[in-house]
Amino acid sequence: MVMYALNLFSHTYLFSNYTSSDQSHNKIITIIVSVLIIVVIFTIFHFVKEKREKTDSSNKDKHFTPPKRNPSHSNSDNKFTPPKRNPSHSNNYNDMLSLEKQNEIDNNIKLLQRELKRPPYDDYTFSSTTITKLRSFLQIKSNENHEIINQIVKEIILHIGMIVDWLDVNVYYDDTVNNASSTAGTYNETNFLRGKLNIVIKPNYNEEMLLSIICHECAHHFLNKRRVKLDQTQQNEVLTDIATAYLGFGAYMYKGYDRKQTIVDNYFISTTKVGYLNRVEMRYAYNEIRKLQASESIRKEIVADLKLKIKNNFVKTENIINTYQSRLKKINISKLVFNKHGYYKFIANDSFKLHVNNFEKMKKKVDNQKLTVDDIKQLQIDLNQFNKNINKYIIALKKLSVLNEFQMNLSSDAIQSLNKTHIDAMNNNAHALLILIKYYLSIPDFSDDASFFYNLLTNCNDGDGFYCLGECYYAGLVVEKNIEKAKYYFYNAKEFGSSVAKERLYNLAKTDTSFSDIPL
């Protein structure tokens, strides 16, 4: 370009010598032409420089630079207000990621769920005081006082439920501004229980970058002690990034993963980036984990509601148990007449205590913080079954009270005779069974006991058994009154040689015309 300008200048100069004889005139023409040539050269140079700068900037990663503030605007608020987002632009970060990358992140989240066997941790928030101290620490860059780093590590370790003393922290400084090859932090396993963090601080780090680095390295410690690791280093680092968000530090990871540009010597721009996921990928992972956190929050609400309902049922059940036990003390069990099918003896023995012990175990289960909704539903089913058993005891208690009052006036001979009748009944004595059917039907709310003995009576296939069944149908004991069936059983009892049945038919034929057609 310069050579072209010189040639043009020389030709113009020679031409001016041939076309004019006036020496002063030639000098003026030469000066004017030279000035024009210089202007053209600078214009072309400026145009080429602008084009080259545009080409270089297009090859760099795009980074949003806020527009310069208009001096005419108020200076009362020094905070930059970003321009409003165009409504036509998509807010869905999923659209910015390939399906392959989304699947990779999703698979890592599923891996963490499967290996850790628990939902994502709640989001953790560092106090404003901690952030301020960290910012001051970065400005001072003290080689001696790393207290704020240790404090942050301690908060992280306690949040994820690990032992603070089993993790050592070392802090180093890297004064090179644009040393991309140097690591931001490393983790080393000291032994099976202990580990060591090495945090490297660079001059252009801000508090958000440093926080994301510390969280990432602590996540390494967490995964290492649970033996959760991928074979390839890059894939394992990506998993650790996602695990950091899974442990409740996704917001800090997202903020720290933004690129930071630092201007050095007024012309050199250094770009600093931490982490193994880019900001869009981190945002997608964080959003997916937050969905799981939301579902976990809903689960906790459901579980808490179910627990409250169950505990309310526990209170009712405890009141019933206490009422049962207090009333049972007032009943003289030794004087009660028990039927031999064991219904009342069952409630008076240690079986009731066993049920109460199971109830106490159930209450302890409800206090377990790791219960799922299905666990709670199963507990509800168990409680319902328990309440059914308790209701049996309550019904039995009522019967015991009634039976106790009914037998208060019985003499010791009568009680002894009644006990003998129970023994005979359990030995298939039909007449003893009929006596107990009548006895329990005479006591309020004891019809089920009468039914029990009636069922035993139906198994007595002899003359006495048929006779007693005839009495049941004739008088409507337990079963509905039915004269035809009564005649049937009385007649068969007579045929089996029952003298009692024969005498009964003879007397009925005199008083009841319904029996006049039976041959005696």
91-107 b/e (C-beta count within 10 Å ≥ 16 → b): eebeeebeeebbebbee
119 Cβ contact list (under 8 Å, min separation 6): 113, 292, 293, 295, 296, 299
What is residue 12's predicted lDDT score, i.e. its pLDDT? 52
Rounded to the nearest 10 degrees, how much is the dihedral formed by the CA atoms of 432, 436, 439, 442? Answer: -140
The average pLDDT across 338-345 equals 45
Per-residue pLDDT at 265 exceeds 70: no
Per-residue pLDDT at 369 exceeds 80: no
What is residue 392's predicted lDDT score, i.e. its pLDDT? 66
Per-residue pLDDT at 484 exceeds 80: yes
Confidence band, pLDDT 50/70/90 cuts, at residue 297: confident
What is residue 78's predicted lDDT score, i.e. its pLDDT? 46
> Looking at per-residue confidence, does 3 or 310 come out higher?
310
What is residue 156's predicted lDDT score, i.e. its pLDDT? 94
What is the value of pTM for the model shown?
0.45
> Looking at per-residue confidence, does 494 or 419 come out higher?
494
Enumerate the domain spans of the chain. Answer: 2-54, 96-277, 296-406, 412-515
Highest mean pLDDT pick, 46-50, 51-55, 159-163, 381-385: 159-163
The average pLDDT across 468-474 equals 94
CA-to-CA dists, residue 253 to 107, 248, 360, 494, angstroms: 19, 10, 46, 97
Whether the Cβ atoms of residue 391 and residue 419 lie closer than 8 Å to each other: no
- The alpha carbons of the chain give a radius of gyration, in whole angstroms, of 48
Name the CATH topology of 412-515: 1.25.40
What is residue 146's predicted lDDT score, i.e. its pLDDT? 81
The average pLDDT across 87-109 equals 72
Confidence band, pLDDT 50/70/90 cuts, at residue 76: very low
146 Cβ contact list (under 8 Å, min separation 6): 169, 171
The average pLDDT across 211-232 equals 90
Angle between helix axes 207-225 and 233-244 (nearest 10 degrees) is 110
CA 366, 370, 376: angle at the middle one, nearest 5?
45
Confidence band, pLDDT 50/70/90 cuts, at residue 152: very high
The average pLDDT across 312-338 equals 65
Confidence band, pLDDT 50/70/90 cuts, at residue 91: very low
107 is written with which tokens? 């698979």
In angstroms, the CA 274 to CA 283 distance is 15
Q: Look over the chain and give the mean of its residue pLDDT values, rounded to a whole number.
A: 75
DSSP 8-state code for residue 247: I
Of the candidates 244, 280, 242, the one whose C-alpha atom is nearest the C-alpha of residue 108 is: 242
CA-to-CA dists, residue 469 to 28, 422, 480, 484, 499, angstroms: 151, 18, 12, 12, 15
Find how far residue 7's CA is from the centre of its chain.
Answer: 83
509 Cβ contact list (under 8 Å, min separation 6): 515, 516, 518, 520
Confidence band, pLDDT 50/70/90 cuts, at residue 302: confident
What is residue 108's predicted lDDT score, i.e. its pLDDT? 92
Per-residue pLDDT at 440 exceeds 60: yes
Report the percentage of the chain scoring pLDDT > 70: 68
> Looking at per-residue confidence, does 273 or 228 come out higher?
228
239 Cβ contact list (under 8 Å, min separation 6): 108, 111, 112, 223, 228, 229, 230
Of the listed ranges 90-94, 145-149, 318-322, 481-485, the least confidently predicted one is 90-94
Per-residue pLDDT at 208 exceeds 60: yes
CA-to-CA dists, residue 375 to 304, 380, 386, angstroms: 12, 9, 16
Of the candidates 396, 391, 473, the one whose C-alpha atom is nearest the C-alpha of residue 437 is: 473
What is residue 89's predicted lDDT score, i.e. its pLDDT? 43
The average pLDDT across 98-109 equals 90
DSSP code per residue over 459-493: T--SHHHHHHHHHHHHHTSSSPP-HHHHHHHHHHH
What is residue 267's predicted lDDT score, i.e. its pLDDT? 43
What is residue 124's predicted lDDT score, i.e. its pLDDT? 92
Per-residue pLDDT at 166 exceeds 80: yes
**Residue listed under structure tokens 């050199």:** 268
Q: What are phi and psi of 482, to 5 degrees?
A: -150, 105
